[in-house]
Amino acid sequence: MRSAGGCAVNSIVVSDYYIEGQSFDGSVGVVETQYAEFSELPLDSGLMLSPLTIAYEIHGALNDNGSNAILILHALSGDAHVAGYHEGDIRPGWWDAMVGPGKAFDTNQYFIICSNVIGGCKGSSGPSSLHPSGDRPYGLRFPVVTLPDMVRAQKLLLDRLGIERLLAVCGGSMGGMQALQWVVAYPEMVGSCIPIACTHRHSPMQIAFNEVGRQAIMRDPSWKGGDYYGGASPDAGLTVARMIGHVTYLSDESMREKFGRRLRDKEVLGYDFASIDFEVESYLKHQGEVFIRRFDANSYLYITKALDYFDLRNGLGTLVEALSDVPVDTRFLVIAFSSDWLYPAYQSKEIVRALKGNGLDCTYLDIHSSFGHDSFLVETTQQTHLIKNFLSVTARRLGVKSAG
Amino acid sequence: MRSAGGCAVNSIVVSDYYIEGQSFDGSVGVVETQYAEFSELPLDSGLMLSPLTIAYEIHGALNDNGSNAILILHALSGDAHVAGYHEGDIRPGWWDAMVGPGKAFDTNQYFIICSNVIGGCKGSSGPSSLHPSGDRPYGLRFPVVTLPDMVRAQKLLLDRLGIERLLAVCGGSMGGMQALQWVVAYPEMVGSCIPIACTHRHSPMQIAFNEVGRQAIMRDPSWKGGDYYGGASPDAGLTVARMIGHVTYLSDESMREKFGRRLRDKEVLGYDFASIDFEVESYLKHQGEVFIRRFDANSYLYITKALDYFDLRNGLGTLVEALSDVPVDTRFLVIAFSSDWLYPAYQSKEIVRALKGNGLDCTYLDIHSSFGHDSFLVETTQQTHLIKNFLSVTARRLGVKSAG
């Protein structure tokens, strides 16, 4: 195994480690978030983010020629913790079903990297990080960040890890948008790309839902222009923003299956608005209230704005033209889900058409699923089959050998 | 023209009245809201609403045997002001394109009634009305109201106006749900029913969007458990609730047509979150902020809960059984819109199937439109054609003569 720029690149795989009642079959086991420090990152705005911290987690082992690395990109509320368990945790990382020994992203074969986006709040530099002056967290003094900025930060991390080329970049939702940005920004570095349930730019409806969430946060008196750290947080606003998000992540069909019109606690008519009547209300309230314990309201503002601004074309004319520098041997697997109305299949098809317009090797699948946008997180069986084969063919074509 | 229970039943039609730059061609002209007072209304909850005020507007003239009356029911944020202009107003009532001389609901032929729902805030008794004790507005002391309660109040109003039978009941969205409730609650009183863009019961997704709006209001510190009258109103919460609503009233397609990704004011990268970047954000913010000037937050809570609780079956088994008492000569025109994803066409089809299951005369139309749920307000040309003919045939079958 190759040493990678001073960083330990082997993840902590403890296959015989057990938490009581918790099986680690097929799990990468207990993992730790690592942190890479950089002096600065130039941003699209012309400003410099300095210093820069990137939180990341790695799984599997890098092979001798460093050719088996896969970068996984997370969605709006995700983080670097893609798989395995943090010490003492009961719940694994956000894509644990997909990343591990024998899984879609097989850690016996591939070296997996996942980092927290800049602007986030899970270890990478963001508005809740301490301002360089040391007075207090940035708040809105944190510079505007874009999806290309996030990708540029990931490039810094890969340089640090000594990874010169990626076997694949992959992500769902915002992660898929970053994966596309990767092939445009660093076309020679990417062997294949798996954008899932995403778009090359937000529609007005996607912008609209994000904007309502932002308004909920900014109209919360506790938001205080983003300078709320150390005092009361804008929990009410962030809760409502998350509730809006959750409605858009589900589908009419999955909600009917999941909740129906079941009443909670009581069957009699009569309500005081504080109580919960329908199970779907209980679910949303729970999701909103759990979220405020793990997410920063300002990060929600910064990241959703980055999403809304993103346009893969970036002033380069058509989408076909934007993808014209992608090497012809780059392979693509584009996945959409039938019930995803937030990132509808037509948006994935736009990407596919532009790839085909450049004569690129592209497989497209519209997976039939009732889970809406959440499908990319939960429809793991079908995705495993697709991605496992896709990576296997890609690795064979590129002559990639696993570590070991 | 028949006198109607002590109330003047002719609307104020001033066809030669003009506001500068404002033509009244085909308009009912200047109208005034009228108010009917009642001692009490028994509610589904077992409580009594006492006293009761119903705000209503009327157009056209009742014929000699009172057989040309049509009741129009409004949606969540609507009111009694369905057509014409209030003195000094520039904008007409909410369905002015559909109600007036020669229009779909031709005021030369029919007598049109529209009343504000109880629980509302546009003149009928609601949480912002003064509590009988005289101390201050009801707030949450206002009793729970249901869609059947709203319809029962409308029945009181018709009794007062001396109207024993309706040529038609019609409404879109919540108005359509009330129209359906009318044929179930008072089957012998309804000659025909036109439910538009509605459902016989809310899906979990519809409940979910309403619940997020309610949470936005109730988590606004100014809401104060509903007891905010005389002080600061929960404007932030109500604004966010309305913004959520507006996103659900549009469609992906109509938003792309209307806004695209056009940036407002500036084209350069850089944002402070208080400023508006995309036109769709500006639109939503405007809609939200206009709404708080005309709507009461507690009414939003009461009415959305009434919507979520509504189930036309009301414990009567299947929807077919719920409609089994509807007389066989009652005519139905059920309208849905192709791009309405909030009240999707499948919900209208459920109604149609249940009507057909009872052997009832039902015409169903899924109008192709890009305007989403808002279609029922804006697709007036196609609706005019359909409804005009439907009412004409219904009137002929029932031997209805216009006043005149």
CA distances from A134 to A262, B189, B372 (A): 51, 75, 50
DSSP H helical segments within A358-401, as ranges? Answer: 375-378, 380-397
Q: What are B219-227's contacts with CB under 8 Å, separation 24+?
A: B219/A220, B219/A236, B219/A237, B219/A239, B219/A240, B220/A219, B220/A236, B220/B297, B221/A221, B221/A236, B223/B297, B225/B139, B225/B140, B226/A273, B226/B127, B226/B139, B226/B140, B226/B298, B226/B301, B227/B136, B227/B139, B227/B140
Residues contacting residue B346 through CB under 8 Å, at least 6 positions apart: none
* Average pLDDT over every residue of A321-344: 97
- Looking at residue B259, its pLDDT comes to 86
pLDDT value at residue B404: 55
| Residue A196 φ/ψ, nearest 5 degrees | -120, 135
Interface of B with A in 148-207 (CB under 8 A): 201-205, 207
Give the global pTM.
Answer: 0.91
Q: Over chain A, what is the mean pLDDT?
A: 91
A301 pLDDT tier (thresholds 50, 70, 90) = very high
Helices (H), A106-191: 147-161, 174-185
Q: What is the pLDDT of residue B394?
A: 97
- Rounded Cα gap, residues B127 and B137, in angstroms: 7
Complex-level ipTM? 0.89
**Which of B289, B290, B350 is CA-nearest to residue B323?**
B350
Cis peptide before B51, with omega less than 30 degrees from 0?
yes
- Is A76 a residue whose pLDDT tops 70? yes
d(CA A278, CA A286): 13
Within 311-350 of A, beta carbons closer than 8 Å to B belong to 311, 341, 344
Beta strands in A173-265 (DSSP E): 192-196
Ordered per-residue pLDDT tens for chain B, 404 residues: 343 333 333 333 333 333 344 444 589 999 999 999 999 999 999 999 999 999 999 999 999 999 999 999 999 999 999 999 999 999 999 999 999 999 999 999 999 999 999 999 999 999 999 999 999 999 999 999 999 999 999 999 999 999 999 999 999 999 999 999 999 999 999 999 999 999 999 999 999 999 999 999 999 999 999 999 999 999 999 999 999 999 999 999 989 888 887 766 544 455 566 677 888 999 999 999 999 999 999 999 999 999 999 999 987 789 999 999 999 999 999 999 999 999 999 999 999 999 999 999 999 999 999 999 999 999 999 999 999 999 999 999 999 987 65
**pLDDT over 80 (residue A146):** yes
Q: Which of B244, B251, B263, B310 to mutate: most A Cβ within 10 Å?
A: B244
Position A260 scores a pLDDT of 81
Can you read off the two tokens belonging to residue B279?
Answer: 């036109």
Return the pLDDT at A376.
96
* Strand runs labelled E in A95-253: 99-100, 105-106, 111-115, 168-172, 192-196
Give the pLDDT of residue A314.
84
Q: Do A273 and B140 touch (CB under 8 A)?
A: yes
Quote the tokens at residue B315: 């414990």
When pLDDT is cut at 50, 70 and 90, the band that residue A26 belongs to is: confident
Q: How far is CA B223 from CA A32, A389, B296, in A?
A: 44, 55, 11
Check if B50 is active-site. Answer: no
Averaged pLDDT, A134-151: 96
DSSP collapsed to 3 states, A309-355:
HCECCCCCCCHHHHCCCCCCCCEEEEEEECCCCCCCHHHHHHHHHHH
- Tell me the count of A-B CB pairs closer than 8 A: 166
Q: Quick check: B385 and B106 in contact, CB under 8 A?
A: no
Q: Report how far residue A112's alpha carbon sits from residue A70's, in angstroms, rounded to the nearest whole number.
A: 5
Using one digit for the tens of pLDDT, what is the confidence trace for A183-197?
999 999 999 999 999
Tell whether B263 is within 8 A of chain A (Cβ).
no
pLDDT at A53 over 50: yes
Instruction: Say what angle helices B279-291 and A204-218 make with each other, to 10 degrees.
Output: 50
Q: What are phi and psi of B188, to 5 degrees?
A: -80, -10
Given pLDDT bands bounded at 50, 70 and 90, which one contains residue A272?
A: low
Specify the residue for token string 């319809």: B151
Domains of chain B from N-terminus onward: 1-201+310-404 (3.40.50.1820), 203-309 (1.10.1740.110)
For residue A298, what is the nearest residue in chain B, using CA coordinates? B273
Residue B378 phi, psi (nearest 5) = -110, -25
Is residue A61 within 8 Å of A404, Cβ to Cβ?
Answer: yes
Tokens of B240: 């966010």
d(CA B344, CA A284): 22
User: Is there a contact between A311 and B202 if contact means CB atoms under 8 Å apart?
Assistant: no
B256–chain A Cβ distance below 8 A for any pair? yes
Determine the pLDDT at residue A25.
Answer: 58
- Taking the C-alpha atoms of B133, B134, B136 and B140 in order, what is their torsion angle to the nearest 10 degrees? 30
**pLDDT score for B271:** 57
Q: Which of B199, B228, B240, B340 to mutate to test the interface with A (most CBs of A within 10 A)?
A: B240
Lowest mean pLDDT among A264-268, A358-362, A379-383: A264-268
pLDDT digits (tens, 9 = 90+) for B113-169: 999 999 999 999 999 999 999 999 999 999 999 999 999 999 999 999 999 999 999
Residues of B in contact with A212 (CB under 8 A): 240, 243-244, 247, 284
pLDDT higher than 50, residue A155: yes
* Residues A266, B301: Cα–Cα separation, whole Å: 19
In whole angstroms, what is the distance from residue A351 CA to residue A346 CA?
9
Q: What is the pLDDT of residue B26?
A: 86
Q: Closest-CA residue in chain B for A224?
A: B274
Q: For residue A129, name the pLDDT band (cuts at 50, 70, 90).
A: very high
State the DSSP H helix or E strand holding residue A16, giving kind and residue range, or none if neither.
none
Q: What is the pLDDT of residue B159?
A: 98
Q: Assign A229 to helix, strand or coil.
A: coil
